[in-house]
Amino acid sequence: MAHSRQVLIFNTGSSSLKFAVVDPGSGEASLSGIADSLGGPEPALEWKIRDNEEQIQLSTGANHGDAIRVLVEEILAGLPELHGQLVAVGHRVVHGGEEFADSALIDSQVIEAIEKCAHLAPLHNPAALAGIRAAKQAFPELPQVAVFDTAFHQTLPQHAFLYALPYQLYREHKIRRYGMHGTSHKFVSERAAALLQRPLSKTNTITAHLGNGASITAVKGGVSVDTSMGMTPLEGLVMGSRCGDIDPGVLVHLGDALEYSPEALNQVLNRESGLLGISELSNDCRELEQAATDGHRGALLALEIFCYRLAKYVAAYTLPLRRVHGLVFTGGIGENSSWIRARTMHWLGAISYELDSQQNEQMRYGAEGLISRAGTPPALVIPTNEEWVIARDAARLVEGRGT
């Protein structure tokens, strides 16, 4: 049997750990799973090997390290062939600040730099560091690679990444726009160039990653030139429970006149706004579509605001690109919701986009292709694969160091 390389991928949240074993050549995941409710009374670990799904309960209070130990001792131990093919561990890290414009082989300096960026992502980076430390202990023989959500956007020009705040806040505190979802925007922009049969360096795309979190990026010749998320994932599009763009004066008013504390502001902006806040029903697009079909006015309004904001960004991002070769929809909503795509394309009629309704209805559950009419600006659906980008980057960096 041919020797195949595999990368073990970790995506660590504060109370969860997603993992997968991915072939960097094909993107195929032979094992994937999630440990959930870590640190709580009933943590559990679920995993899937090809089409077989299994689940076990973890002991009360089990942490990331415990979950990784179970992964090694109970799952990988039963798959010696797969275990033997691992060449690296790849970690998703949300914030690389200005420290990282590319993925990095993890050593003590890289860990220090990730710690240095932790104030920019106080919930996410410490979780990623916990995952890195636990993985180093469990796999001391494997090189570890950090792949940053922000790295792809380090090419943004100053006029796109600076806020119109006193410059000193950037100089001294690094307050600026960084952008997120970089692995996804990179993946689908490259895939779009391939589907459009154009060289990447001559292809301009607008990529809309629409999941629970949502962001949109202008990609010029493979390079990110503007993106909707800012210093934190709150800026930009309407999201499941985040508000996206808002007049900052509203925050001052909420604090002053309504006595919201910083914690309460954080809660309302991140967890109680967006589709959930407007609809007063749900943050889940599928549920809202069903409710809107049944006549729920809040659901209908939430979906409409989502699409209108999205279309405004698409129109704005034609500016840095001048010529747009493809508009890409991806993420759980972008890949599956013909409703969101149709309404967004309706607004985009103002700049000549036209929907092919039949094609639009067919694009879901992993399908890929055009949803625009022939002869009109191309709009496509492309399923994202962030894990494949992480696996590819990890394999590239490990090869680069000559192992």
Residues at the interface with ligand ADP (CB under 6 A): 211-213, 240, 284-286, 289, 331-333, 336-337, 364
Pick between residue 205 and residue 337 the one whose CB is nearest to ligand ADP.
Answer: 337
From 23, 36, 66, 149, active-site residue: 149
Q: Please, which residue, 277 or 332, has the CB nearer to ligand ADP? A: 332
- For residues 43-67, one letter each, b for 16 or more C-beta atoms within 10 angstroms of the residue's C-beta and e for the rest, the string is bbbebbbeeeeeeeebeeebbbbbb
Residue 266 annotated as lining a ligand binding site: no
149 is a catalytic site residue:
yes
Q: Tell me which residue has its CB nearest to ligand ADP.
A: 332
**134, 64 Cβ separation under 8 angstroms:** yes
Output 150 or 336, the one with its CB closest to ligand ADP. 336
Please give the backbone phi and psi of residue 273, each rounded to the nearest 5 degrees, phi first: -110, -150
Distance CA 95, CA 125 (A): 7
Comparing CB distances to ligand ADP, the nearer of 89 and 285 is 285
Helix (H) or strand (E) holding 116, with range, is: helix 108-116
Pairing of strands 326-330, 379-381: parallel
- Smallest separation (angstroms) from ligand ADP to the CB of 117: 21
Q: Is 285 annotated as a binding residue?
A: yes
Residue 133 assigned ligand-binding role = no
Q: How far is the CB of 281 from ligand ADP (least distance, A)?
A: 12
Q: Residue 204 annotated as binding?
A: no
Paired tokens of 169: 């806040």
CB of 125 to ligand ADP, least distance (A): 18
The least distance separating ligand ADP from the CB of residue 286, rounded to whole angstroms, comes to 4
CA 266, chain centre distance (Å): 20
Segment 358-365 long-range contacts (CB within 8 Å, at least 24 positions apart)? 363/335, 363/338, 364/335, 364/336, 364/338, 365/335, 365/336
Annotated ligand binding at 174? The verdict is no
Please name which of 267, 283, 285, 382 lies closest in space to residue 326, comparing C-alpha atoms: 382
Token pair 């030139």 is found at 225
Beta carbon nearer to ligand ADP, 210 or 398: 210
Q: How far is the CB of 202 from ligand ADP (least distance, A)?
A: 29
Is position 258 annotated in a ligand binding site? no
Which residues contribute to the annotated binding site for Mg(2+)?
11, 386
Which residues contribute to the annotated binding site for ATP?
18, 209-213, 284-286, 332-336
Which residues contribute to the annotated binding site?
11, 18, 92, 209-213, 284-286, 332-336, 386
Residues annotated as catalytic (active site), given as ranges: 149
